[in-house]
Structure 1
Amino acid sequence: TSGLTKDQIKKLELKASDKKSGMIIAPNFALGAILMMKFSKVAKDFFPSVEIVEGHHPQKKDIPSGTARMTADLIGKDVKIHSRRQPGLIAEQAVYFGGFGESLTIKHATTDRSCFMPGIVFAVKKVLQIQSLIIGLEPLIDGENV
């Protein structure tokens, strides 16, 4: 989703709908990151406080990342996002939940870009089964939109 405006996404959505064609806009293809987002969506109902800390390599242009924005959207609360860009990082994100007498951290780290390949293969297979635009791979993990 990096760099796409809401207007551009709406145009793609209309195009997919008109053609009854599958289309996926994915902020992240790492399956671990997709599961982190899905688990965060579940955890949000059990913790009153949540913040996201994400870090990427210095060449990453969008701040916060599309993954952090998507995670915040899935959580649906007013989520504070902390971003950093540093040498030595590819990508990492942690979602910190705070509750009464306990906390939960859900974290994903990319240590090699090869981790994106299984998610790309997954998306290519799933896009053939849908007839609309899907944003993120999270809804496809358990077949919500298939």
Structure 2
Amino acid sequence: MDASRSHRSDMAPIKVAVAGATGRMGQEVVKLIQREENLTLVGATARSKVGQDVGEVIRIGRVEVPLTDSLDDVLAQGPDVLVDFTTPDLVYENTEKAISYGVRPVVGTTGLTEKEIQELDSRCQEAGIGGIIAPNFAIGAVLMMVFTAKAARYMPHLEIIEMHHDRKLDAPSGTALKTAELISQERQELKQGHPEEKETLEGARGGYKDGYRVHSVRLPGLVAHQEVLFSDAGQLLTIRHDSLHRESFMPGVKLAIEDVMSRRGLVYGLEKILDL
């Protein structure tokens, strides 16, 4: 990371708006902004409790920022960055709208297609602003994905198992899909398992990707977990990451907010801004 991105504490605070501010992730982002001196909260959207102070709603005390269900109203206030943790059905529209206002998007909502990401990158380039879409903001999870891709060069027989809370809307997770993308950059397609294998229970073998399988687990009490199993003659390697609390994502969110202030164009994946 260059010096211009590491000394923002000497500059004016970055003005941040949060879409989905009362959701589980949105609440953690609001708390992050309130405790960081170089960030200031200027707007917050939610589908309910409109007009109420967001700090009072999430029980951290009054912050003088009322909730609104209008993203246009928030963007018109001129934030530098919009952090989006909403839902797959809203994320593309929200991100596109932010860019149209010249507001830099930091997106943790999953569900965007490769084509949509490319379109949003083009819009950021045209607007001369930066943006980041990350399927996972936990630094440990990013390291897990990078280590997985490196291991796949040498142990190509693998399966991905991702586990999340039972309120998650998409499967497989964005983290699993990003992991698969990184694996594909390092490993040729390799058909695994018995060639005459048959599922006697539909879906038992999970989703198919380049010869291996991706499995999704959804259970109450989980947050975000993923393990990748590698197997070879006489050995098993497991690379695993567990987010035990949503606070684990906040260092990555802060890093992304600061990074987009000096970036042009949109990147997909937090590993793109880490020195790996």
1:96 aligned residue: 229
C-alpha distance in structure 2 between counterparts of 1:84 and 1:36, whole Å: 18
C-alpha distance in structure 1 between counterparts of 2:263 and 2:154, whole Å: 32
C-alpha distance in structure 2 between counterparts of 1:74 and 1:62, whole Å: 20
| 4+ long deviations beyond 3 Å | none
C-alpha distance in structure 2 between counterparts of 1:50 and 1:127, whole Å: 35
Q: Give 1:13 deviation, angstroms.
A: 1.1
1:80 aligned residue: 213
Q: Tell which deviates more after alignment, 71-80 or 114-123.
A: 71-80
Unaligned runs of 5+ in 2: 1-108, 190-209
% identical equivalent positions: 46
Aligned counterpart in structure 2 of residue 125 of structure 1, from 245, 252, 258: 258
Q: Give 1:81 deviation, angstroms.
A: 0.5
Could you give the per-residue CA deviations for residues 19-40 of structure 1, whole angstroms, max 9, x where no partner exists?
2321101101111111101111
Q: Tell which deviates more after alignment, 72-81 or 111-120.
A: 72-81
Could you give the per-residue CA deviations for residues 41-97 of structure 1, whole angstroms, max 9, x where no partner exists?
111101020110001111001000000000011000523101010112111000111
Aligned counterpart in structure 1 of residue 239 of structure 2, from 106, 125, 140: 106
2:46 aligned residue: none
3-state SS of paired residue (2:264): coil
Structure 1's 10 and 99: CA in aligned 2 closer, same or farther, altered over 3 A? same
Unaligned runs of 5+ in 1: none
Q: CA RMSD in A?
A: 1.5
1:142 aligned residue: 275
C-alpha distance in structure 1 between counterparts of 2:272 and 2:229, whole Å: 22
Q: Paired residues, what number?
A: 143
Question: Which has more radius of gyration?
Answer: 2
Q: Give 1:6 deviation, angstroms.
A: 3.4
Matches within 5 A, 1:35-54: 35-54=143-162
Question: What is the identity, as a one-letter code, of the residue corresponding to 1:28?
Answer: N
Q: Give 1:125 deviation, angstroms.
A: 1.9
2:196 aligned residue: none
Question: What is the identity, as a one-letter code, of the residue corresponding to 1:95?
Answer: V
2:63 aligned residue: none
2:164 aligned residue: 56
Question: What is the identity, as a one-letter code, of the residue corresponding to 1:85?
Answer: R
